[in-house]
A and B are shown apart, each in its own frame.
Chain A
Amino acid sequence: MADVVQLPGVLAQLRLIAGLRWNLLKNGLQRKNNRWDLVGIISAGVFAGLLVVGLCFAFFAGATAFLTVRRANWMGLLFWAIFLWWQVFPIFVAGFGANFEFKTLLRFPLSRRTFYLLGLGYGFADFAAVAAVCWVVAMILGAARARPEVLPVMVVVCVLFVLMNVTLERLIGSWLEKILAKRKTRELFIGLFVLCVVSLNFLNPVLQRYGNAARPKFLEYLHYLAWLPGSLAGNAVAGSVRGDMRAILLGAAGLVVWLGATSGFLWRRFAAQYSGEEISESAAPAPTKRKNNGATASAEAVRARSSNEEWLPMVPVTVAAVALKEFRYLTRNGMAFLTLLLPPIMVVFFTMQFGRGSALRGHSLKPELFFPGIMAYLILILITPAYNAFAFEGKGIQTYFMAPLRFQDVLLGKNLFLAVLIAFELSLSLALLVWRVGWPSPSMFAATISAGAFAVLGQLTIANWSSLSFPKKMEIGKMKGQRNSGVAVWTAFGVQIVLGGVCTLIILAGRWMSDPWLPAIMFAVLTAAAVGGYVASLGALSRLAEEKKDLLMETLCR
């Protein structure tokens, strides 16, 4: 017989959960042994505090102003702002990380009702929820100051609004948890998410072109928003200002319906979790079927399709193996794959925004500026991962140190693949640029190409050093915490500023000396020097890898 005399009540359990969350946060901070990470966290904390407090004043002032100047039906805008924040922000910050899995609490003796209430309570402990509740309170205070007579309705509406929001947020969160629990759906989801974010860039050019035509249609659909929580809450408060009981009841009843519906769905989701729903990463392996003819059949199949031909005949076997592995990893990294879509997308975006036919009209940019500008921008995007080249190796990094090779082969394989990839991306983007804005002068074209070669080769040596000295583990299919170490970021930033400055000076030197071919020649000389420096650095970097292998394995195998 267990010694448990009495189970803790819901409040005591909520307190335990709050303590658990606090400990997770505190211990998470303790693990941030990197000074830059700590600086980042402190600055984010200060920024978040300022955001919440600053917006408290804004919501207070907004509510006061709307209710004082008889613009009570604008209160809906404030409710809408909070609604969108509460539902969307948690998706950005929490949806992609390996957070504490709420359902792990099921190992404890909890009733279904307690599990549900704990789930709701857990929802209130989010930064988004805390901030939103602060703003709602600020609105209530604003309303009390402007029109004390609407306070009772305001309080009831706000309570319903807050309960509905926390329930909906938990509902969305639990569905997200289900979607993100499996690697494939998680990667697909993140891919779609990033694509949506990227496509926001096109909002401005699209609005410029089609905005006026779409306006009447948009206004027509605006009416339907009245049935959504932000508008319902706003209408109820506005009704109380006018003394319109029907509007108050309709708004409050609408919120109650929303609350009931979301609670019902959330109860079903939590009930599924409570009854042991399995949503984990890897399902139990299917029974392995051994082929009847065993190894003989497959060996024959192998003989039929294998040959001794190398896929990169001019390159050492180990270097080719690393390059091939990099290619395979790229094809399985949705995020990196999407990064490759960015260059052509950005070319189209920039040329729509600043090229011929854009709103700039007579002031649109010319190919002479577009070519070096786009080249610089694209290299900036594409080379950044090279500063943390081992980010996705995980425990596989051990293979490089166990295998009989010099580490420079690994660096060569990775750099070779990256150089080929960048060359392909730049060729595609420049071809698009020619189609969109036309050719620049031959001298500028040559200067752009040789400057690109110099910028890439000039950075690889330093990027390799950064990768070995400041590794940071990243995981494919996650967004939270997926960034290079602070030092690597600053190194990349510094190098790119210096290289950008050098390239600009050389292009300007060509203009001052009225010699259009001078930049191309100077960049070619610099590229040759960069190649020499790169080759000379490989031995030293191999030795550095030996020195840093403890650090690399400790960081990446964690």
Chain B
Amino acid sequence: MGEIAIATEKLTRTFGALKAVDGIDLQVQAGHFFGFLGPNGAGKSTTIKMLTGLLAPTSGRMELLGLDFQKHSVEVKRQIGVVPEGMGLFERLTGAEYLRFVGRMYGLDRATTEKRAEELLEFMQLADREKTLIADYSHGMQKKLALAAAVIHGPRILFLDEPFEGVDALAAGALKALLGRMTERGVTIFLTSHVLEIVERLCSHVAIIHQGRLVAQGSLEELRAGVAGTEGETKTLEQIFLSIVGQSGVEQARLEELTWLT
């Protein structure tokens, strides 16, 4: 058993009467590319917000890299990078200014910040937009910039909330290669996505959250083994997902109600 990068214990978050996250126990090993899946409104973004300090849990514990988040929040934040939901960009800065700002906020010295900002902008193909404000970037460009900002300080854990949404196929390929190399270097990547093919291709381990509760967790093989199927058949992640969250066949039944459309 390797080092545990992320561990939660009965992590809960309520909004009034709604339990968005209901006592989840999550374990992610260091160096894993971890996919966190769930239907809309299942509690994925709420979980990621709690794990990155953007939202306080109602109850429960979180440990990142062996440190209690509540007690050592500054030390933990120093070692994680985040692409949050909505990207969290300052839209009135240029891409370079934003990266320099983030680098300094993470405590990098000026020369290192400058150098990394330039290199990241080159890698993300944003370098020729020197004077363009982020407000004037396309959605895909903003996504790439948010990813660049998340890695500028060399984090040990990277949290990505829908990182490939709106990114073109060329850039997505480069980003996937970059993320793959980061995991080889021991960086843990915690990713949420609705595109199950991407998760299946990139992630070695997966957890599924449904109605605020963790309903499955393990390697893809472990999840496949846990789902009944025809002998010899290799289940896709989509099939596993539908089988676990209990939606299989529901869409077909709904379609049959819309007879005027089909």
Contact = CB atoms under 8 A, between A and B. Distances in A.
Given A285-B138, A290-B125, A308-B110, A404 B90 contact: no
A289 interface: yes
Contacts of B129: 288
Contact of B110 (A309, A392, A395, A549): A309
A403 B127 contact: no
Interface stretch (A116-124, A322-330, A525-533): A322-330
Contacts of A33: none
Contacts of A281: 136
A396 to B, nearest CB: 4
Interface in B98-152: 101-102, 104-107, 109-111, 114-115, 118-119, 121-123, 125-129, 133, 135-138, 141, 149
Given A307-B110, A308-B110, A309-B110, A396 B105 contact: no
A87 B149 CA distance: 47
A393 B127 contact: no
A394 B91 contact: yes
Size category of the binding interface on chain B: 35 or more
Contacts of A321: 101, 104-105
A306 interface: yes
Nearest to A320: B104
A185 to B, nearest CB: 13
A347 B260 CA distance: 72
B88 A306 contact: no
Contact of A549 (B54, B74, B84, B137): B54
Given A402-B54, A404-B107, A285 B90 contact: no
A404 B118 contact: no
Contacts of A107: none
B119 A299 contact: yes
A396 B125 contact: no
A301 interface: yes
A288 B128 contact: yes
Contacts of B53: 401-402
Interface string A396-410: 111101111110000
B75 interface: yes
A294 B76 CA distance: 34
A463 to B, nearest CB: 21
B181 interface: no
Given A302-B115, A399-B105, A546-B56, A328 B88 contact: no
B89 A306 contact: no
A517 to B, nearest CB: 44
Contacts, number: 135
Contact of B56 (A285, A397, A403, A550): A550
B86 A395 contact: yes
Contacts of B121: 298
Given A282-B138, A284-B138, A285-B138, A405 B74 contact: yes
Contacts of A318: 104-105, 107
B127 A332 contact: no
Contact of B89 (A291, A295, A299, A396): A396
A328 B56 contact: no
Contacts of B89: 395-396, 399
Interface in A394-441: 394-399, 401-406
Given A183-B136, A395-B86, A557-B86, A403 B105 contact: yes
Contacts of A101: none
A177 to B, nearest CB: 19
A301 B127 CA distance: 13
Contacts of B111: 306-308
B122 A291 contact: yes
Contacts of A550: 55-56
B10 to A, nearest CB: 20
B105 to A, nearest CB: 4
A289 B128 contact: yes
Given A318-B107, A399-B88, A325 B118 contact: no
A143 to B, nearest CB: 53
Contacts of A26: none
Contacts of A294: 122
Given A290-B125, A398-B86, A549 B101 contact: no
Nearest to A294: B122
A278 interface: no
Contacts of B158: none
A398 B88 contact: yes
Given A320-B104, A324-B101, A395-B89, A308 B127 contact: no
B88 A404 contact: no
B106 to A, nearest CB: 6
Interface in B64-99: 74-78, 82, 84, 86-93, 97
Interface in A320-353: 320-322, 324-325, 328-329, 332-333
A302 B114 contact: yes
B12 interface: no
A31 interface: no
Contacts of B75: 404
Interface of B: 52-56, 74-78, 82, 84, 86-93, 97, 101-102, 104-107, 109-111, 114-115, 118-119, 121-123, 125-129, 133, 135-138, 141, 149, 260
29 contacts: A281-B136, A288-B125, A295-B123, A298-B122, A301-B118, A302-B114, A303-B115, A307-B110, A310-B110, A320-B104, A325-B90, A325-B101, A329-B92, A332-B92, A332-B133, A392-B92, A393-B90, A394-B90, A395-B89, A395-B91, A398-B88, A399-B149, A402-B52, A402-B82, A404-B77, A404-B78, A404-B105, A549-B54, A549-B56
Interface of A: 3, 183, 281-282, 284-285, 288-291, 294-295, 298-299, 301-303, 305-310, 317-318, 320-322, 324-325, 328-329, 332-333, 392-399, 401-406, 476, 546, 549-550, 553, 557
